[in-house]
Amino acid sequence: MAAEWKFSQVFGERAPGDPVEDVDIISAIEFDRRGEYLATGDHGGRVVLFKKINDDDRSLKGDLTYSVDSRNMYQQTSRKVLEGMDHPATANPKYVYKTEFQSHEPEFDYLKSLEVQEKINKLRWCAAPNNSQFILSTNDRTIKLWKAFNIGEGFSSRCQRVYSHAHDYNINSISNNSDGETFVSADDLRINLWNVEISNQCFNIVDMKPSDMEDLVEVITSAEFHPTYCNLLAYSSSRGFIRLVDMRRSALCDKNARILQHCEAHGSRSFFTEIVASISDIKFAKDGRHILSRDYMNLKLWDLHMETSPVATFKIHEYLRPKLSDLYNSDSIFDKFDCCLSQDGSQFASGSYSNTFKIFSRDGPDEGIALEASRHPNRISHSHNGPKTTRLFTRFARGHNQRGHEHESPNTDTSNGVPCDVTSKLIHLAWHPTDNLIACAAANSLYMYHA
C-alpha cells in the first residue's frame, strides 16, 4: 500500500495572482547529510538556509528577531509554524528560516564577451569537523565555498574559497566525494576534480570535447560520486547513457568506462527520440548499487550489475508524447527535472508540470501518485537551420543557453484527461536523508510534504 503523503510546511507562498520576480524563483534545493539543515538557491544568486527545530528547542527567539527584509516572508511563515498556525504538530521534521546570503553576482567574461548570470545552479553541503556548516554553491562558471556559523543569537556566513576559471561551458553539476577532501564539477564537455582546500588548480578527469566540434555527438548532463567508494564516479549524457568510471585506473577517465544503456529496441524513432532520451539528473542510492536517472519522459532505476537495461522504469510524461512538437517549439522539451529517492531506496520522486510531482514505489502501482504543490495538495493517480555545431548545442544544452521563447507556451492541456500547464513547472526537489520528507519548489515557494 502506497504511503499517504501530507502537506507539512510552506515558505514564501504567494497569493493567487501575485506576480513573481524572476530573481526569486528557486533553482536549487539541498539537505545536509543529517537533515539538520536545508538550503535553497535562487535565480538572484542568493542562498537561503533553514534549520530543523525540535519540540523542546528554546533558542528560536533569535531566529525570529534576525531580520532580513528580502526574506521577511520566510520569517513570517516560521512564526506561523512555531505558533501552531501552519499545521498541527506532527512527528515529521519542521524547519525554521535561519539566514540568507548573496552567493553570486552577475559577471561579464570579457575574453568570451559573455554575460554570466548569478543564478545558483547547484548546492552541495560539505562535511565539517565541528558545528560549522560548509556549503558549495555554483552558477554557470564559478564555484564558491561558504561557511555558515552562529554569532550570538544570529547566524552569519563567510565565503571561504572561490573556484573559478576552470570551465568554458556552463556548470551543471557539483558532487562531494566520500573522502571529505575532494569534489567534482561538470559542464557540458568536461569534468574537473578539485581539492576543497585548493582553489587555484584542478584536474581534468573527463574530457568529451572532440578535436573538431563538427564531430560532437553528446554532452555531459550530470555527475555524481559514489556514496561510499571515493574512486567511483558516474556521469550521464544527452544520449541517455550513464558512464561509471574508476579514477584509479587512469588520469583521464573518459576511457574504459562501464556504460549503463537501455539496449531494448525502441520501435519507431522520430526527431524527438534523442531529445527526450537526454538524462537531466542522476542520484546514487545509499546502497551504492543502484542509480536513479531522470530523462524527459521517465524515471529509471539502474542496477550497476545490469548494464543493458534498467531494473524499473516509471513513466512520468507519457501523456505528453502527442504534444512533443508543441513542447519543442516552446522549449519546454528541454526542461531539466531533478530526481530523488528515499533513504532506503524503495521510493522515488521527480517533478512535472502544473506544479505537481510524482512519487513511485518499487512495490506500488506503476503509475505512482501525483501531488500538487499546495497547502492543500490534490492527490491524483494517473492512468494514462544552422551549422552542425550550433544545432547540436541547441538540442543538447538549450536548457543552459535558452534561445528565448519565440512561440507561446502551450496552454493548459487536458488531453487524455490529464491537466498540464507547462508554464507552471516543478523542477527542483530533494528527499530528506533519514525521514520520509520531500522539499520541492514551485516558482518562489518552498513546500514540504511528509509520509
Average pLDDT, the chain: 84
Residue 396's pLDDT is: 37
Percent of the chain exceeding pLDDT 70 equals 80
Residue 267's pLDDT is: 58
Mean pLDDT computed over 223-252: 95
**3-state secondary structure labels for all residues of 199-233:** CCCCEEEEECCCCCHHHCCCCEEEEEECCCCCCEE
Instruction: Name which of 228, 232, 251, 220 is nearest 336 in CA terms.
Output: 220
Say which range, 1-10, 158-167, 287-296, has the weakest mean pLDDT. 1-10
Residue 74's pLDDT is: 62
Residue 264's pLDDT is: 66
Residue 55 vs residue 345, higher pLDDT: 345
**DSSP per residue, 297-347:** SEEEEEETT--SS-SEEEESSGGGGGGHHHHHHTTGGG----EEE-TTSSE
Say which range, 222-226, 247-251, 318-322, 364-368, has the weakest mean pLDDT. 364-368
| CA atoms within 13 A of residue 448's CA, in its CB half-sphere | 28
CA distance to 189, 253, 398, per residue, from 216 (Å)? 10, 18, 15
Tell me, what DSSP letter sits at residue 26? E
Q: Are 13 and 445 in contact (CB under 8 A)?
A: yes
Say which range, 45-49, 168-172, 244-248, 365-369, has the weakest mean pLDDT. 365-369
Q: Residue 381 above 70 pLDDT?
A: no
Q: For the segment 310-350, what is each residue's pLDDT rounded down to a tens digit? A: 999 999 999 999 999 999 999 999 999 999 999 999 999 99
Q: Residue 364 above 80 pLDDT?
A: no
Instruction: Name which of 103, 125, 110, 115 is nearest 43 in CA terms.
Output: 103
Residues with Cβ within 8 Å of residue 408, at least 6 apart in sequence: 330
pLDDT band at 97 (very low <50, low <70, confident <90, very high): very high
Instruction: Name which of 422, 417, 449, 423 is nearest 436 in CA terms.
Output: 449
Q: Are 135 and 51 in contact (CB under 8 A)?
A: no
Mean pLDDT computed over 152-164: 89
pLDDT band at 417 (very low <50, low <70, confident <90, very high): very low
Alpha carbons 352 and 10: distance in angstroms, whole number: 19
Residue 367's pLDDT is: 84
Q: Residue 408 above 60 pLDDT?
A: no
pTM metric for this prediction: 0.86
Residue 383's pLDDT is: 38
Instruction: Name which of 197, 189, 277, 270 is nearest 239 in CA terms.
Output: 277
**DSSP per residue, 78-134:** HHHHHTT-SS---SS-EEEEEEEEE----EEETTTTEEE-----EEEEE--SSS-EE
Largest CA distance in the chain: 64
Say which range, 63-67, 68-72, 86-90, 437-441, has the weakest mean pLDDT. 63-67
Q: For the segment 177-212, what is each residue's pLDDT rounded down to a tens digit? A: 999 999 999 999 999 999 999 999 999 999 999 999
pLDDT band at 132 (very low <50, low <70, confident <90, very high): confident
Say which range, 28-32, 37-41, 87-91, 273-277, has the weakest mean pLDDT. 87-91
Helix (H) or strand (E) holding 414: none
Helix (H) or strand (E) holding 351: strand 347-351
Cα 90–chain centre separation: 27
pLDDT band at 55 (very low <50, low <70, confident <90, very high): low
Q: Residue 285 above 90 pLDDT?
A: yes
Instruction: Name which of 184, 206, 114 is nearest 400 in CA terms.
Output: 114
Which CATH number describes the domain made up of 6-450? 2.130.10.10
Alpha carbons 259 and 281: distance in angstroms, whole number: 16
Cα 389–chain centre separation: 27
**Three-point CA angle 4, 366, 322, nearest 5°:** 115
**DSSP per residue, 220-267:** EEEEEE-SS-TTEEEEEETTS-EEEEETTT-SSTTSS-EEE---S---
Residue 196's pLDDT is: 97
Express the helix, strand and coil content of the chain in percent, nearest 5 each: 15, 40, 50
| CA atoms within 13 A of residue 322's CA, in its CB half-sphere | 8
Q: Residue 42 above 60 pLDDT?
A: yes
Mean pLDDT computed over 379-404: 38
Instruction: Name which of 227, 156, 228, 223 is nearest 194 in CA terms.
Output: 223
Percent of the chain exceeding pLDDT 90 equals 68
Residue whose cell numbers read 528560516: 97
Alpha carbons 39 and 135: distance in angstroms, whole number: 9
Single-letter amino acid, residue 292: L
Residue 252's pLDDT is: 85
